[in-house]
A = this chain, B = another copy of it.
């Protein structure tokens, strides 16, 4: 069951400049940064609030590490902006199968590695009224998974 807006994924050309924009404009601070080589992104997570499922909502700022990554190609076509939205669930396996059974294309056969050890999958935007949609389950012990422990 999807219980929160886990994050909004925002593609940018220059991660450091975009982080600085959010800090200077709104006072938002980065909680976590990492490079995800499989996804081909360098990312910064800005925590906006806690959510009543025990998790939290973030902005996820994404800079491609290579032009042929999904985010790199998307940026070349669209320019900077909202790349995807992500719903948090305590069971991405069950939820992605349920969505697949309803005829929505799930982009990965099995969930893959996401931010902070989470497990993620994506749904085809053409099956979701134009919205690239991620489902994410936080790693055990991560803040967003505390509620189920």
**Footprint of B on A, CB under 8 Å?**
1-5, 8, 10-12, 17-18, 21, 24-28, 48-53, 57, 59, 79-82, 85, 87, 99, 102, 104, 125, 128-131
Q: Is the CB of A5 within 8 A of B57?
A: yes
Cα separation A59 to B11 with both chains bound (whole Å): 20
Cα separation A4 to B58 with both chains bound (whole Å): 9
CB nearest to A123 among chain B residues: B25
Partner of A129, one of B1, B3, B21, B28: B21
Q: How far is the CB of A31 from chain B (nearest CB, A)?
A: 15
Q: Is the CB of A10 within 8 A of B131?
A: yes
Instruction: Give every chain B residue within 8 A of A99 (Cβ-Cβ).
Output: 25-26
Partner of A102, one of B4, B25, B52: B25
Q: Is the CB of B79 within 8 A of A130?
A: yes
